Structure 1
Amino acid sequence: MKVKDVEISEAQLAAMRGAMAGEFRASDIVRAAEQAGVPAGEIAMRAADRLIQAERKQGRIKPAASSPFWVLANGVAA
């Protein structure tokens, strides 16, 4: 994935997906991205947003009943 000319590696994406456990917020994914070396701020936020959009479109996550959280659609990490 590329965000504003910054390449997000598969290892960084894996770290971001690892933050998707139980109920999670976008900020949990942003934090995981930054810890994995994604530049902090806008780049990490955009990467998290794109990952959430992709996972939602593939049916892997859905909004939780207790918004603003997300949950795994089948209860199991991908």
Structure 2
Amino acid sequence: MAGHAEVVRVIHGLRQGDARTPCRSAVYTSNAVQRHAVQASASRFQAELARAGHGSITTEIAVAGPFCFVEDEHQQ
């Protein structure tokens, strides 16, 4: 389906590694508390990136919409 995004439930963090990958990153929140926490974290991280001379965070932060779980073979 065009325009879809694959979303993961974060249990532990892993680094993407290859900056050339065509993947995009996003954090979808389900309430105001989560949204505030994510935005605060992104602001702190962006300040550190800027201090180190790096560019802007490109991760999308948005309210979660409808979703469905992917097939079992794509989990983990």
Query: Structures share a fold, TM > 0.5?
Result: no
The structure richer in helix per residue is 1
When Rg is computed on C-alpha atoms for both structures, the one with the higher figure is 2
Q: Which has the higher contact order (CA 8 A, sep 6+)?
A: 2
TM-score, scaled to structure 2? 0.34
TM-score, scaled to structure 1? 0.33
